[in-house]
């Protein structure tokens, strides 16, 4: 399933657990919000931040491809372990040993330690689902000019992130709890009808 067919891609994503879901479900508020979204998968309203990210992602991937053997990706990938474990990395190497995750951001990062922890979990989930060994994590700082977002510098910054099994194990645990909570909530809703 490709994200180019957005409605179908969103429908299939709603049947499982994605990297975005796992990334934000590590605290109780994020967990409740994620389960709620799984039960009632209404699309998130588009905004200028999201539009800028979508516009910049292929540009960033193309710039990275001049240095690395990677290509853009819009396929929803399911884990070999379970089809409900899903991810759509922004790019892949031809051998699928490396994935790419691209972010546009209002904050520059000097190291992986400064990156939002939800992105750490998102990357590790994608590594687990795809079976890749490393992630090329790239970001483009945005700034506002004439009430529009523009890149703050000519190309992305990037770093390489390796698999971290303890984080993957925690992500898998959260994913199983998300599916169980979703299934219980849907069963309860069906009983009440």
Model pLDDT for residues 28-46, shown as the tens digit of each residue: 999 999 999 888 877 677 8
pLDDT at res. 60: 95
Q: Kindly indicate the confidence band of residue 190, based on its pLDDT and cuts at 50, 70 and 90.
A: confident
Query: Taking 50 as the threshold, does the pLDDT of residue 1 lie above it?
Result: no
- Which one-letter DSSP state was computed for residue 114? G
Please state, in angstroms and rounded to a whole number, the distance separating the CA atoms of residues 18 and 193. Answer: 29
* Strand ranges for the chain from DSSP E: 71-72, 77-78, 86-87, 91-92, 98-105, 134-145, 148-151, 157-162
Domain 6-192 has what CATH class?
A: alpha beta
How much of the chain exceeds pLDDT 70, in percent? 92
Q: What is the pLDDT of residues 79-119, one digit of tens each?
A: 999 999 999 999 999 999 999 999 999 999 989 999 999 99
pLDDT for residue 169: 97
Mean pLDDT of the chain: 90
Spatial distance between the Cα atoms of 94 and 105, rounded to a whole number of angstroms: 27
Enumerate the domain spans of the chain.
6-192
CA distances to 6, 20, 47, 110 from 106, rounded to whole Å, are: 26, 19, 15, 13
pTM of structure: 0.90
pLDDT at 2: 52
Give the CA-trace dihedral at 70, 169, 9, 49, to 10 degrees.
-70
Per-residue pLDDT tens over the stretch 114-123? 999 999 999 9
Higher pLDDT, 71 or 188: 71
Q: Distance between CA atoms of 77 and 59, rounded to whole angstroms?
A: 22
Whether residue 135 is predicted with pLDDT greater than 90 in this model: the reply is yes
């Amino acid at each position: 399933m490709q994200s180019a067919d957005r409605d179908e891609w969103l429908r299939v994503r709603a049947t499982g657990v994605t990297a975005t879901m796992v990334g934000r479900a590590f605290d109780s508020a994020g967990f409740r919000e994620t389960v709620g979204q799984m039960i009632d998968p209404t699309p998130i309203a588009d905004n200028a931040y999201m539009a800028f990210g979508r516009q910049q992602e292929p540009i960033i991937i193309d710039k990275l491809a001049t240095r690395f053997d990677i290509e853009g990706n819009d396929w929803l990938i399911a884990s070999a372990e379970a089809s409900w474990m899903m991810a759509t990395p922004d790019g892949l190497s031809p051998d699928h040993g490396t994935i790419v995750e691209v972010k546009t951001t209002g904050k520059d990062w000097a190291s992986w330690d400064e990156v939002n922890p939800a992105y750490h979990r998102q990357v590790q989930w994608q590594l687990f689902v795809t079976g890749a060994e490393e992630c090329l994590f790239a970001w483009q700082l945005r700034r506002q000019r004439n009430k529009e977002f523009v890149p703050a510098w000519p190309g992305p910054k990037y770093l390489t992130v390796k698999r971290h099994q303890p984080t993957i194990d925690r992500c898998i645990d959260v994913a199983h709890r998300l599916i169980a909570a979703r299934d219980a909530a849907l069963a309860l809703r069906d009983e009440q009808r």
